[in-house]
Amino acid sequence: MILDDSSINSKFEEVYLAYFSKMKYFAKEYVVSEADAENIVQDVFTELWEKKELLTMPVNLVAYLFTTAKNKCLNHLRHKIVVQETVSLIQEEYALTLQMNLNSLEVFDEDLFSEEDVEKIISRALDSLSDKCREIFIMSKLEGKKQKQIAEELNISINTIETQMGIAYKKLRVELKDYMTLFLFLFSL
Q: What is the pLDDT of residues 100-152, one digit of tens each?
A: 878 777 766 655 556 567 678 778 888 889 999 999 988 988 888 999 999 99
pLDDT of 122: 77
Distance between CA 152 and CA 134 in Å, rounded?
A: 17
Architecture of the domain defined by 5-104? Orthogonal Bundle (1.10)
pTM, entire model: 0.52
Distance between CA 30 and CA 27 in Å, rounded?
A: 5
CB environment 92-114: b (16+ within 10 A), e (fewer) = eeeeeeeeeeeeeeeeeeeeeee
What is the topology classification, in CATH, of domain 110-187? Arc Repressor Mutant, subunit A (1.10.10)
In which residue ranges of the chain is CATH 1.10.10.10 found? Answer: 110-187
pLDDT of 103: 76
**Which residues fall within 8 angstroms of residue 103, CB to CB, at 6 or more apart?**
none
Distance between CA 69 and CA 71 in Å, rounded?
A: 5
Spatial contact of 20 and 41, defined as CB atoms under 8 Å apart: yes
In total, the chain counts a number of residues equal to 189
pLDDT of 22: 96
pLDDT of 188: 57
Whole-angstrom CA distances from 163 to 5, 159, 170 are: 75, 6, 11
Residue 66 has pLDDT above 90, yes or no: yes
pLDDT of 27: 96
**Between these two residues, 28 and 6, which has the higher pLDDT value?**
28
pLDDT of 1: 47
In which residue ranges of the chain is CATH 1.10.1740 found? Answer: 5-104
Q: What band does 153 get if pLDDT is binned at 50, 70 and 90?
A: very high
